[in-house]
Amino acid sequence: MSRLELVPFADEHLEDASRLLAARHARHRVIEPLLDPRFEDPSEALPTLEHLCRDEGMSGSAALREGRLVGYVIGAPQAPEVWGPNVWVELPGHAVEDAEDARDLYGHAAARWVEEGNKRHYALLPPEPELIDAWFRLGFGQQQAHGYQEMPRGVEVRLPVGCEIRSPEESMIDDLLELDLALPRHQAAAPVFSPRTLPTEEEIRREWQETLGNDEEEVFLGFCDGRPVACWAYVPVERSRHFHGLGRPARRSSYLGFAVTLPESRGSGIGLALTNAGFAWAEREGYEAMVTDWRVTNLLASRFWPSRGFRASVLRLYRSIP
């Protein structure tokens, strides 16, 4: 095989990069058929790359063999107050003909990122075994999964004894504070160890006020023995920051953006009932697919959602440089 030449990614590489991206997306659609087929056309993939290249701080690398582009990796920092000193390689931000070349591309691009002080690196990848293996051998591990499924039809909702499903009301907000804190507390504990600060009671009240005034958000509360013990929330997929561009289903989709059960009620069946209630609601509303996401280090979520039919079809990898 001829020598690989690595150079900074530039506008002159965009057209050839769009062809590589379209080919990778076609392979991705074999794994996840809900993805939009139009991005298999390089002319459709090109605008997503051009848009990505306009992100502030975007930089990356291009790989050539005998003058022909065979791969690229580009990334940009996102919200340092949330992610720390970081660089994100989004789903359109990389494509290679040979998975092994991704390692050379990352090595070339990451030298600049680390020199600029951005030592937390995130990358969204299709679950192609050779590609994932190449990134794992760069020191990355899997942090998040994005799940997809076609809408189940005719789902039956079976509630545990003493439980019911209600819609939220303003009079309930004070009773929902503990429920809202349950998820960030769970994520802060082992083995997730999320560094996110817990929301204050005032922040939770304000968020509930916004939710109650939002016609696009559908919220189901699970009550057992008259007490709120679980909450599931859905919005149109367009409201999600995780599912956009190449990662958004082509069909009309709902996004399950929040789900939590109080620790003492886990395993009671209320979570399954709320999930099925959400499926039934989405079917009535004419949705054709549903998506969600979860931390893979969240042991409960990483087992519950795949068992409910969600396919982990986009993986978020993470590496922190000491």
Check whether residue 43 and residue 185 sit in a common domain.
no
3-state secondary structure of 311: strand
Check whether residue 52 and residue 157 sit in a common domain.
no
Check whether residue 40 and residue 126 sit in a common domain.
yes
Q: Are 173 and 316 in contact (CB under 8 A)?
A: no
For residue 96, being part of any structural domain is answered with: yes
For residue 293, being part of any structural domain is answered with: yes
Report d(CA 278, CA 295) in Å as an integer: 21
Check whether residue 115 and residue 233 sit in a common domain.
no
Report d(CA 18, CA 148) in Å as an integer: 25
What's the pLDDT score for residue 275? 98
Report d(CA 199, CA 86) in Å as an integer: 23
> Which residues touch 34 (CB under 8 Å, ≥6 apart)?
148, 149, 150, 249, 250, 251, 253, 289, 313
Check whether residue 135 and residue 222 sit in a common domain.
no
For residue 63, being part of any structural domain is answered with: yes
Check whether residue 44 and residue 122 sit in a common domain.
yes
CATH of the domain at 277: 3.40.630.30
Check whether residue 160 and residue 300 sit in a common domain.
yes
Q: Which of 139, 165, 188 is the last residue of a domain?
A: 139
For residue 272, being part of any structural domain is answered with: yes
Q: Are 294 and 146 in contact (CB under 8 A)?
A: no
Check whether residue 191 and residue 235 sit in a common domain.
yes
Q: Which of 110, 139, 168 is the last residue of a domain?
A: 139
Q: How many helices (H) and strands (E) does the chain have?
A: 9, 13
What's the pLDDT score for residue 2? 85
Check whether residue 177 and residue 97 sit in a common domain.
no
For residue 320, being part of any structural domain is answered with: no
Number of domains into which the chain is organized: 2
Domain range for residue 282?
150-311
CA angle, residues 274, 275, 278, in degrees to nearest 5: 85
Helices 101-115 and 129-136: crossing angle in degrees, nearest 10, is 40
Whose tokens are 């998820």? That residue is 183
In the chain, where does DSSP find H-type helix?
14-31, 42-53, 80-83, 101-115, 129-136, 177-188, 201-212, 270-284, 299-307
For residue 322, being part of any structural domain is answered with: no
Check whether residue 50 and residue 73 sit in a common domain.
yes
Report d(CA 64, CA 3) in Å as an integer: 8
Check whether residue 302 and residue 158 sit in a common domain.
yes
Q: Which of 91, 108, 139 is the last residue of a domain?
A: 139
Check whether residue 160 and residue 201 sit in a common domain.
yes
Divide the 322 residues of the chain into consecutive groups of 10 and give the mean pLDDT of each group.
93 98 98 98 98 96 97 97 96 98 98 98 98 98 98 96 97 95 96 93 95 94 97 97 96 98 97 98 98 98 98 98 94
Whether this prediction's pTM lies above 0.85 is answered by: yes
Query: What's the first-to-final CA gap in the chain, in angstroms?
Result: 34
Q: Return the half-sphere exposure (C-beta side, CA atoms, 13 A cut-off) of residue 24.
A: 28
For residue 23, being part of any structural domain is answered with: yes
For residue 212, being part of any structural domain is answered with: yes
